[in-house]
Structure 1
Amino acid sequence: MCGIVGYNFNNAALLDEMLQTIHYRGPDDKGVYANDSISLGHVRLSILDLSSHGHQPMEFENLVLIYNGEIYNFKEIRKELEKYGYSFISNSDSEVLLKAFHKWGKECVEKLRGMFAFALYDKAHQKITLCRDRVGVKPLYYYFDGKDFVFASELRALRKYKKFPIDKVALAQFFAYGYITHDRSIFEGVKKLLPAHFLEFDLKNKKLTLQNYWKYEDYFKIAAKSEEEIIDELEEVLTEGIKYRMVSDVDVGVFLSGGVDSSLVSAILQKHYGNIHTFTIGFKEQKYNEALYAKKVANHIQSNHTEYILGINEAKEILLEKFHEIYDEPFGDSSGIPTFLVSRIAKENGVKVVLSADGGDELFCGYERYWWSYHLGKKLQKIPAHKIFAKALHACKPCLSKIPIKNIEHKLEFLQELFQADSWAQIYDAILKNYREDMRCLGLVPPSNISKDAFAFGEQIHPMQGMMLWDFYNYLPNDILVKVDRATMINSIEGREPLLDNKIIEYSATISFDLKYRNGQSKYILKKVLERYLPKELIYRKKMGFGIPMFEWFRSDLAALFERYFYEDEIIDMEYPRALLQSFKEGRYVNVNKLWFVLVYKMWKERYY
């Protein structure tokens, strides 16, 4: 895994500064390429072909490549290229990608199975082509002001180019969802290259064009097959995708939570390779602790298992000293703390590549909020003229807020927005948000609903499929994959996502919805595959998720952090958060996520702005 930077002018000092900010993404090597019209930089974490032959930037005829990622099927593509007369001096996937682009142009991405973000400079046509993988496993940001075009793997590198103002729309997204979604970043004018997109920049005319090259929705063609046939085929495509992630010249481990997805990945790998190393983080607070289940799975498959219990003092240390070094824009997912720690433990155990089983929830209907939202929405639809209730709630809110019910104000805000909903998309959006209309108390405008087209497509199949597509295009790339990429990279190890192999994703679209969720059972078909590897008592249990005991911790030692950071702010109005904090200190129930998001924002701002 690596880091890349570049821009359309020559400035050697800036290039070095930008690379230095992301050196941990590639501590094994550094390289640059520059002329009067282009500067490209690369830092390398050596995973395939550990020799100097894998050095980047890599040149071939008129093309120069810098690349972050792994192409797992590079050997097959290499054999195909050799038939066309191409020869190779390395055993790296980088050289295969470079020559595949030389042969097929942008169409080469149709052949790639992997995770990638790359920039390719065409000297003959004076163009830069950026590309990001289908799901967005690998990050890539860019900025263009009509003159300067600058890009990098992480925002911290772009800040060496100049200081950007905060994007208030992006900040509102963060306070609503806990992450910044779609193509925005926290900095005004700086954008993410969306997953499954090309960006082409013409160096002569200074014109930028974007192109989408893949869509999940295109594969929703339900196959007429028996359940047993689908189980067989799904196991086959899962096994192939998971085995591809073992392509490496260094040791590989697996993050094991004991849930369905990580247990399946671990079990398949253990069957085919044996002696795999699994890693788990647990908590002393038992209702958050999945380590017990992970240990049972590890014992059953006989993996080499490492368990670590995270306590409040270590979590506090990570939050204060590491969290905002890891995440260079506001990031509200508190599970980033244990994800960082389990990555560090893997590194300490000599592992340079780890597999993280993300994506199963979005592909196979795993989150509890899907069926909870669906049943709530069905009840809402039975209420005639439900928008009248929203107006009544708004009028009565001052009185109702005094009722001694846990988190009453947040629940009233939720009900008010829910009763105003006209569609499944609005219902789901209301359920996802933390700050809603009360965001106006911060001086921000609540963000509009996102990914309506994808939701509408999925809703034709089932409302829960719409929710799954919403998460596939929003929550997955902007929260889950950001978390894993940054937490692994800061430890200079590579995180791989086997369940997000494009063939697995595309096959999941051919499975009817009633095989994903059946009779109250989530991930029905995935669990049927897992039954071939684990006893049922290790499979059929309540889903826990990978969170931390935030409320319990903030009631004690971490509460002082709020006091430390809840000072005046020139971007948001702090009166409302301080009122929430006062209620919290008085022992009243409040939505602790609202306090957490403000804390995260303030800590980030102190470090980066």
Structure 2
Amino acid sequence: MCGIVGIISFDQDLSLRTDLVDAMRPALSHRGPDAVDQWVSPRALLVPRRLAVVDLAGGRQPAIATDDAGRDVVVLSYTGEVFNFAEIRAELVTRGHRFRDRSDTEVVLRAYQEWGADCARRFRGMFAFAVWDVRREELLLIRDRFGIYPLYYARTSRGFAFASEPKALFTTGVVEPVVDRAGLLEALSFTPTPGCSVFKDIREVIPGEVVRFDHNGVHRSRYWTFTAREHEDDLATTERTVSDILREVIRQQLVSDVPVTAMLSGGLDSSAVCALATAHRAGAGGPLQTFSMDYSYHLDSFRPDEVHDSPDSPYVEKMSAHLGTDHHELLLDWNHLADPEAQAAVVRAMDRPIAGLDMYVSLLQLSAEVRRRSHVVLTGDGSDELFGGYMWFHDPFYVRAQQFPWLGVSHRMEFLTGLLDRSLHTELAFADYARDRYHEAVAETPLTGKETPRERRMREITYLNMTRYLRVILDRKDRLGMAVSIEGRVPFCDHVLAEYVYNVPWSMKVADGREKSLLRAAVRGLVPDAVLDRKKSPFPTAQDPRYRTALREQLRRITEDGGSAVAGLFDQQRVKSVLTDPSYGLRAGVTRMSIEAAVQLHHWTASGVRLELT
């Protein structure tokens, strides 16, 4: 895991801009604490940072290819892991390439020399990288198929810049931290739009995309997207195939020169990953280290709700005992979640407000706990989107709704916009924005043309989750982990697995009448029945009423003290309902997420973000 930032200019001499180098070097220190370097020329300035995971002594960046005269011809700034790099390296050796080290970084460099931008089609892994072709004066930005690693860019009259995170782009001087109305819509709608960022003039490289910049401007193309095809395997063969692919994925993703650990929530997804990892590691290097988080309040006072049937801790204990892992549990209280410094740290890490602040704060704390022992961790992210784990795959109300299904969970209440001034809310037309983004996404869905109406709808919902909702999950994993220099690996986002499962008929995915029954069958015998048969339970949210009380007090300070740049954005009647109504504004249509959003908007602007909404 690393971080990259760079700038390209055809109308100034960047080799003279030592000020830019000095500004860019510390911008992504959290993504690469082990090393930092730069490559400077009149046209290009690249500053990569490294978190060393594979080939600790080698793998230096930027990786540079030279011609016979020793002149630099290709310069690579790379983040990520190509898990099949050994196989690609062996092929490249047969084609005459010579290697200086045993890192995947150099494999990516030589693969570009051999195949150009098409090299990405051969990679199995998670990556985002920039290639500066010196002779062509051309920059390529390439991102993995699901966007596991972030990559942003900006082109303005001041030049072209790219970076792993927006905050690093701001150090280049090409773009400023400005959010206009379009950005606020994107930030608060909970409808992630591929390619869009929340900042004015900044775009995100779409997963599976190649972005080229040269003297003729910016050119974009896709090297991968889902493809629909008829599934020919029977159920038994399908279950075996999924099991075989998962075993191979775990084998590949355990390759590391530093210890690999795992998250263990007591749910099916993380338990499957831990079970497969334990089986593969048998007898190697001691027990697998695992990590979980829970709230102290839940130990004695947990209450089942619409999506959480049971607390995680008992199932974590069962799974850890079954596998013999070296387990570490982090217990948090309401005051950890309401800590303004922790909240601000989340907003800085994400570069934006998000839905579910308590979850993000707790995950940031958990990531810090993991970092004390390791900086590579396996997670179960991506399984629910691929195998159909969320409630909105199964409840007819959400399946029928002509909107992003996760928005239906709000029961027509606003997730993040409940406290916004009503005139601003009307002008921005959040509902219209969400509807338009939904129809765009549905229209993209790959279909064979032979689906029944039911099968077509379930393919649409799967596609919405894999291309939109998964963005939220992967961004959360990446930013909160990298805020404390942790590389998160996501086996369920292996593209070979995803391509196969995407085309499995829905009837096979729920063969036993439950969510993710295909995955259950694939790992049966590895996971205890109590965990295997547990109903899907999402990441826990804080039930302690003292957390909501603390949020109310934060809102009071933001709106009454006069020191917040966002106080004028809120509807005063709705604010009053939160501050005085025992329901904390629920009667007025204000959810806890809306209060958290107001708190985050305050932290966001306090960090230097400028709102331009007129």
TM-score class, shorter-chain normalisation, is: 0.7 to 0.9
Paired residue for 1:168? 181
Worse-matched range after superposition: 520-529 or 322-331: 322-331
Worse-matched range after superposition: 551-560 or 7-16: 551-560
Q: 2:334 aligns with which of 309, 312, 326?
A: 312
Q: 1: CA distance between counterparts of 2:316 and 2:423?
A: 43
Paired residue for 2:377? 354
Q: Is 1:469 aligned to 2:469, yes or no? A: no
Instruction: For structure 1, list consecutive stretches of 5 or more residues without a partner in the other structure.
Output: 379-422
| Cα pair 1:221 1:509 within 8 Å, conserved | no
TM-score by length of 2: 0.85
CA deviation after TM superposition for structure 1 residue 332, in Å = 2.5
The alignment partner of 1:300 has SS state of: helix
Paired residue for 2:475? 482
The amino acid of 1:23's aligned partner reads S
Q: 1: CA distance between counterparts of 2:369 and 2:242?
A: 32
Q: 2: CA distance between counterparts of 1:243 and 1:495?
A: 16
Paired residue for 1:445? 429
| Cα pair 2:271 2:319 within 8 Å, conserved | yes
Paired residue for 1:527? 520
CA deviation after TM superposition for structure 1 residue 170, in Å = 2.4
C-alpha spacing 1:299/1:584, structure 2 compared with 1 (3 Å): farther
Paired residue for 1:136? 147
CA deviation after TM superposition for structure 1 residue 555, in Å = 2.9
| Cα pair 1:174 1:332 within 8 Å, conserved | no
Q: How does 1:487-566 map to 2 (within 5 A)?
A: 487-518=480-511, 520-549=513-542, 552-566=545-559
Paired residue for 1:586? 581
Q: 2: CA distance between counterparts of 1:119 and 1:577?
A: 47
Q: 2: CA distance between counterparts of 1:261 and 1:585?
A: 42
Q: Is 1:65 aligned to 2:76, yes or no? A: yes
Q: 1:336 aligns with which of 357, 360, 370?
A: 360
Q: 1: CA distance between counterparts of 2:3 and 2:501?
A: 31
The alignment partner of 1:548 has SS state of: coil
| Cα pair 1:185 1:191 within 8 Å, conserved | yes
| Cα pair 2:151 2:205 within 8 Å, conserved | yes
C-alpha spacing 1:328/1:376, structure 2 compared with 1 (3 Å): closer
Q: Is 1:42 aligned to 2:48, yes or no? A: yes
Q: 1:215 aligns with which of 225, 233, 240?
A: 225
CA deviation after TM superposition for structure 1 residue 486, in Å = 1.1
The amino acid of 2:24's aligned partner reads M
Q: Is 1:434 aligned to 2:434, yes or no? A: no
CA deviation after TM superposition for structure 1 residue 575, in Å = 4.0
Q: 2: CA distance between counterparts of 1:581 and 1:298?
A: 47
C-alpha spacing 1:427/1:50, structure 2 compared with 1 (3 Å): closer
CA deviation after TM superposition for structure 1 residue 570, in Å = 6.6
Q: 1:367 aligns with which of 361, 373, 390?
A: 390
The alignment partner of 1:109 has SS state of: helix
Paired residue for 2:20? 14
Q: 2:127 aligns with which of 103, 109, 116?
A: 116
Q: Alignment length, in residue pairs?
A: 556
C-alpha spacing 1:225/1:293, structure 2 compared with 1 (3 Å): same
Paired residue for 1:394? none
CA deviation after TM superposition for structure 1 residue 224, in Å = 2.2
Q: 2: CA distance between counterparts of 1:426 and 1:304?
A: 39
Q: How does 1:260-299 map to 2 (within 5 A)?
A: 260-274=268-282, 275-284=287-296, 285=298, 286-287=302-303, 289-299=311-321
The amino acid of 2:381's aligned partner reads D
Paired residue for 1:76? 87
Q: 1: CA distance between counterparts of 2:334 and 2:568?
A: 30
CA deviation after TM superposition for structure 1 residue 428, in Å = 6.4
| Cα pair 2:565 2:602 within 8 Å, conserved | no
The alignment partner of 1:115 has SS state of: strand
Q: 1:424 aligns with which of 402, 419, 422?
A: 402
Q: 1:242 aligns with which of 231, 250, 274?
A: 250
The amino acid of 1:63's aligned partner reads V
Instruction: For structure 2, list consecutive stretches of 5 or more residues without a partner in the other structure.
Output: 67-72, 610-614
CA deviation after TM superposition for structure 1 residue 593, in Å = 1.4
Paired residue for 2:198? 186
The alignment partner of 1:474 has SS state of: helix
| Cα pair 1:260 1:530 within 8 Å, conserved | no
C-alpha spacing 1:602/1:278, structure 2 compared with 1 (3 Å): same
Paired residue for 2:69? none
C-alpha spacing 1:428/1:360, structure 2 compared with 1 (3 Å): closer
The alignment partner of 1:201 has SS state of: strand
The amino acid of 1:592's aligned partner reads R
CA deviation after TM superposition for structure 1 residue 451, in Å = 5.1
Paired residue for 1:105? 116
| Cα pair 2:355 2:416 within 8 Å, conserved | no
C-alpha spacing 1:481/1:164, structure 2 compared with 1 (3 Å): same
The amino acid of 1:325's aligned partner reads R
Q: Percent identity?
A: 28
CA deviation after TM superposition for structure 1 residue 553, in Å = 3.9
Q: Deviations over 1:38-94 (max 9, x none)?
A: 11110100111111x321111103110000111111010000000011111111100
| Cα pair 1:49 1:92 within 8 Å, conserved | yes
C-alpha spacing 1:3/1:436, structure 2 compared with 1 (3 Å): closer
Q: 2: CA distance between counterparts of 1:435 and 1:50?
A: 43
Q: 1: CA distance between counterparts of 2:528 and 2:537?
A: 19
Q: Deviations over 1:140-179 (max 9, x none)?
A: 11110155101111111112224242132221232221x7
CA deviation after TM superposition for structure 1 residue 437, in Å = 9.7
The alignment partner of 1:492 has SS state of: coil
The amino acid of 1:344's aligned partner reads A
Q: 1: CA distance between counterparts of 2:477 and 2:312?
A: 19
Q: 2: CA distance between counterparts of 1:174 and 1:556?
A: 25
CA deviation after TM superposition for structure 1 residue 523, in Å = 0.5
C-alpha spacing 1:551/1:573, structure 2 compared with 1 (3 Å): farther
Q: 2: CA distance between counterparts of 1:520 and 1:438?
A: 40
CA deviation after TM superposition for structure 1 residue 114, in Å = 0.8
| Cα pair 1:170 1:181 within 8 Å, conserved | no
Q: Deviations over 1:537-576 (max 9, x none)?
A: 2222232211321673433334321112236777785342
The alignment partner of 2:97 has SS state of: coil
The amino acid of 1:159's aligned partner reads F
Q: 1: CA distance between counterparts of 2:477 and 2:536?
A: 20
CA deviation after TM superposition for structure 1 residue 475, in Å = 1.6
Paired residue for 1:226? 234
CA deviation after TM superposition for structure 1 residue 370, in Å = 2.2
TM-score by length of 1: 0.86
The alignment partner of 2:363 has SS state of: helix
Paired residue for 1:384? none
The amino acid of 1:365's aligned partner reads G
C-alpha spacing 1:297/1:67, structure 2 compared with 1 (3 Å): same
Q: 1: CA distance between counterparts of 2:406 and 2:105?
A: 41
